[in-house]
Amino acid sequence: MSEFSRIPALTLLPAVDVASGKAVRLTQGEAGTETSYGDPVDAALEWANDGAEWIHLVDLDAAFGRGNNRKMIQKVVKAVPRHVNIELSGGIRDDKSLEAALATGAKRINLGTAALENPEWAAHVIAEYGEAIAVGLDVRGSTLAARGWTEEGGDLWHVLERLEEAGCARYVVTDVTKDGTLNGPNLELLRDVMERTHRPVIASGGVSSLDDIAALRELVPLGLEGAIVGKALYAGAFTLPEALDVAGN
């Protein structure tokens, strides 16, 4: 038995990003860089059939404040088998949008901008819903990005300290400069975040190869729970079964 095979498994979350009713991928999260990959339901079912236990579902239009894909999001959640969990993100900034997100049947909701701009509300939601809430930390350097990554959202370490005090259950950490680029994940950023929290961390952005997944799995003992994989899967860099094998699933 190799040393690597003794490392606990890394949970993989294939991404389905929805804009204008289509599954798309962006480059560095920028509006206007969309590449379309067809029907979101088909994409989600493909990942489910390939062995995914989680799917990371994003309403990009809601994130950018240009409408929403609520009906399509509901269709995706209903279409996947019950054993597949949905992590839902995008434009969840108040009670109304949070209730709508929870009503879809998603297992976990990611707060982004709201956790930065409305800390009292975010703390209340974290206290009320616990494990059902994760906070997305979208980072350029050590500065957080908000509003669909179009505005600055404060210092990463100050915000993380505040979220720790609020009892946040989980963080989704994205290096915005890596997202959609296939240039590899920012392992140093992930290590720095995990040094400052005992909560589980999910990595997002830049995964381009099976070697990247192996490198992320090596961080599991430090607190990395999972990794979101998007463009590499859609571009055919590897298959999801291959990735799950390397991740130890």
Examine the residue annotation and report whether 17 is marked as an active-site residue of this protein. yes
Catalytic residue of the set 17, 61, 175, 179: 17
Q: Given the structure tokens 């498994």, which residue do they identify?
A: 9
The two three-digit tokens of residue 154, written as one number:
């404060």
Catalytic residue of the set 138, 175, 179, 212: 138
CB atoms within 10 A of CB 133: 23
Specify the 3-state DSSP secondary structure of 39: coil
Give 129-152 as a 3 state SS string.
HHHHEEEEEEEECCEEEECCCCEE
H helices of 52-186, in order, are: 60-63, 70-79, 95-103, 113-117, 119-129, 156-166
Query: Facing residues of 23 across strands?
Result: 18
Integer Cα distance of 49 and 54 in angstroms: 12
Examine the residue annotation and report whether 245 is marked as an active-site residue of this protein. no
The two three-digit tokens of residue 56, written as one number:
């990371």
Q: How far is CA 45 from CA 25, 56, 81, 114, in A?
A: 17, 13, 8, 30
Strands 201-204 and 224-229: parallel
Catalytic positions, written as ranges: 17, 138
